[in-house]
Amino acid sequence: MNMQPVTLTGRTIRLEPLERRHAADMAQAADADIFMYHGLRPEISQAGFETYIDTLRSRAAMVPFAQVLVESGRAIGGTTYMDIQDANRGVEIGTTWIGRAYHGTMVNPEAKYLLLRHAFEDQGAIRVQLKTDSRNLQSQCAIEKLGAVKEGVLRNHMIMPDGYFRHTVMYSITNDEWPAAKARLETRLGL
């Protein structure tokens, strides 16, 4: 595996390497509550998102993306490949957020489909993991709809910016499970 910035395009969403030029759109699409369960919480302004973008781009073993609507060309969220483990052929999809107006649409499943397909089919991943705060039931449901397997809970896994001791729910999809998960996603997306 050699995860590098790449553009992945679907019918609804295009994942582009995250750059400062996405900051203004992201600030318009976001609200503070979207980041309630995130360890990194941007200030909701163009300058705040520029700092957020710079921080994500500076992290090792991370490839951040802007989620851009194909129709309008506007960034309405973000996501990353993170915890990239080339030697073990594993990667995590995380730090995902989407503007509230796009919750419950095809944006998230299509973005995850693009990321999973690239990881498994182009990069030869044998494991893709996803994790979420145990309080984030919406995220857990979305991850389970992808066909990911719940592996367990890491107790007191992270200290959140507000001091809360976060329990993290771990999920994964393996290369053996990818064909069934892919078929399920393609049906859901009408591909």
Rounded Cα gap, residues 12 and 18, in angstroms: 18
Residue 144 in domain: yes
Within the chain, residue ranges assigned H as helices are 23-29, 46-58, 107-117, 137-145, 178-189
**pLDDT of amino acid 175:** 98
Q: Give the range of the structural domain holding residue 85, as residue numbers without chain letter.
A: 8-189
Cβ–Cβ under 8 Å, residues 29 and 101: yes
Q: What is the pTM of this model?
A: 0.96
Number of domains, the chain: 1
Query: What are the tens digits of pLDDT across the range 38-87?
Result: 989 999 999 999 999 999 999 999 999 999 999 999 999 999 999 999 99
Residue 183 in domain: yes
Q: Which residue has the tokens 């553009």?
A: 7
CATH number at residue 13: 3.40.630.30
